[in-house]
Structure 1
Amino acid sequence: MRATARVVARADGRGGTALPVLDGEGPLALRRTRSTGPAARVTLVGAMSGPLGGDHLTVEATAGEGARLHIGSAAATLALPGQTREAARYDVRLTVADDAELHWLPEQLISVRESDLRITTRAELARGARLVLREEQVLGRTGESCGRLTSRLTVRRAGATLLDQELSCGPGAPGGWDGPAVLAGHRAVGQLVVVRPQYERHKPPATTLGEWAALTPLAGPGVLVTAVAPDALRVRRVLDQALRDLG
């Protein structure tokens, strides 16, 4: 299956945000949810199971100049085995214009046993753009081993790369992914990226956030928070607290 969901947000000229494009296909259903502020809020609803082996799903979101767009999901995404041995693909493409803000805050992605998923998230930001991006991966459901999961995250601002990292886990992944230098035996991992123009003048310093999490300044106006934990709940608590502390 191939399916694409598209969201385009534009400033409405009255202090709010309009959604001239809100279109989903197949398992990717989009719903606008109530907002009392200037941001338009959209929820990604899984209308079908997936991604399954061989599927190619894409989410494209654009925040035009002056727009405020917050995107979440209604539930966790399950990467499932399919009838084919071909890997599933899930691509997320985010574009944020000057004086625009985009929050990408989906629920966790769970790598089910015998699944094979390659997820790529790419954010292209204008110089005056703001971004809050959270990704969380869970290796297997309760009591089961995980599938193969490869996750690539790239953030670019004004043509320059702020972050480009890849994590590969599960059967067939390069050795060491479960060792002390990477996941250290934990089953859940999360990343939070915050990019704000004011960080060009001053941004938070590098620091640890408990035993298994850290905040790292990026080479530009952004910071990266990375956390690992035995379960998704503890990863979420660390990332949520970090976002509150960043203000």
Structure 2
Amino acid sequence: MTGGHGVRAVARIRAVADGRGGTVLGELAGDGPLAPRRSRHPDGTGAAHVVLVGAMAAPLGGDRLRVEAVVEPGARLLVTSAAATVSLPGREPAPAHYDLDLTVGADADLEWLPEPVIAAAASSLRLWTRVRLGAGARVHLREEQVLGRHGEPPGRLTSRLTVHQDGRAVLDQSTDIGAGAPPGWDGPAVLGGNRALGQLLTTRTCAPTPVTGAAAFPVGEGLTLLTAVAAGAMEVRAALCSLSAQERVPAVTPAG
């Protein structure tokens, strides 16, 4: 839906256990620039796989986009994206908003592994990820953010991650980086001159080996937050994969 204040769009994903060890998609819908597509899971394990496809340029200034994903008890879902998400300036000076609302039921499993979010020059994006985990839920959620495309100055990216585990708040953190952000965002306490950062929220076992520019923090019962800063998206992904003991580093898909 479009209007005088940008595009409003919602995508909905609901994964349901089929009772035979697999997962089916009970709901898969999107509008505007949000086009979720069913795909075959790369491991052939019976889990559902959804690819988020950008049907049009977005988010632009003034847009409000929202993705809602529910993994019902016992179900397994992998969500990836076809390309990086590029935040662009719009006709209006207002920032764009992109909300992710993710619910993982009891003994369910969610892998959320999209391509990076890129804040193009003169853009402003506010990204809020809300995660709710039921008892025994498993999650492997990666977020990567890059300031500016190659050879251009950074846009602004304000992000927040909130996590509830079995009804209890275990994490609420935010960052504000890029052109127009409060002073210090590029200093040694935040990016330290780097242009990319990432975080990985996981219930998987993490590697004890230190990685330059990265750190791991326990945030809940069997839940760890890994963070990394680096010169670019590929270096951030490599650091997160090293900390999460992932043997192969998936290639970063360029913006398209």
Superposition TM-score tier, normalisation by shorter sequence? over 0.9
Over residues 84-134 of structure 1, what are the superposed CA-to-partner deviations in whole Å (9 max), with x where a residue is unaligned?
Answer: 011100000000110101111110000001001100000011121111110
Offset of 1:208 from its aligned partner? 6.4
Compared CA separation, residues 174 and 220, structure 1 to 2 (3 A) = farther
Q: Residue in 1 aligned with 2:32?
A: 26
TM-score by length of 1: 0.93
* Of 105, 112, 123, the match for 2:131: 123
Q: Residue in 2 aligned with 1:159?
A: 167
Count how many residue pairs are aligned between Structure 1 and Structure 2.
Answer: 239
Compared CA separation, residues 245 and 30, structure 1 to 2 (3 A) = closer
User: Would the aligned equivalents of 2:206 and 2:243 in 1 still touch at CA under 8 Å?
Assistant: no
Q: Residue in 2 aligned with 1:179?
A: 187
Which letter maps to 1:25? D
Offset of 1:182 from its aligned partner? 0.7
Q: Residue in 2 aligned with 1:200?
A: none
Which letter maps to 2:87? A
- Distance, in Å, in 2 between the alignment partners of 1:204 and 1:132 is 11
User: Would the aligned equivalents of 2:206 and 2:245 in 1 still touch at CA under 8 Å?
Assistant: no
Identity of aligned residues (%): 54
Instruction: Report matched runs for 1:80-229 at 5 Å.
Output: 80-195=88-203, 209-229=210-230
RMSD: 1.6
User: Would the aligned equivalents of 1:191 and 1:225 in 2 still touch at CA under 8 Å?
Assistant: yes
- Distance, in Å, in 2 between the alignment partners of 1:38 and 1:122 is 26
Offset of 1:20 from its aligned partner? 1.3
Identify unmatched segments of 5+ residues in structure 2: 1-6, 248-256
Compared CA separation, residues 37 and 204, structure 1 to 2 (3 A) = closer
TM-score by length of 2: 0.90
Which letter maps to 2:64? H
Q: Residue in 2 aligned with 1:4?
A: 10
Over residues 23-56 of structure 1, what are the superposed CA-to-partner deviations in whole Å (9 max), with x where a residue is unaligned?
Answer: 0111110111112112101100011001000000
Which letter maps to 2:191? L
Identify unmatched segments of 5+ residues in structure 1: 197-202
User: Would the aligned equivalents of 2:206 and 2:244 in 1 still touch at CA under 8 Å?
Assistant: no
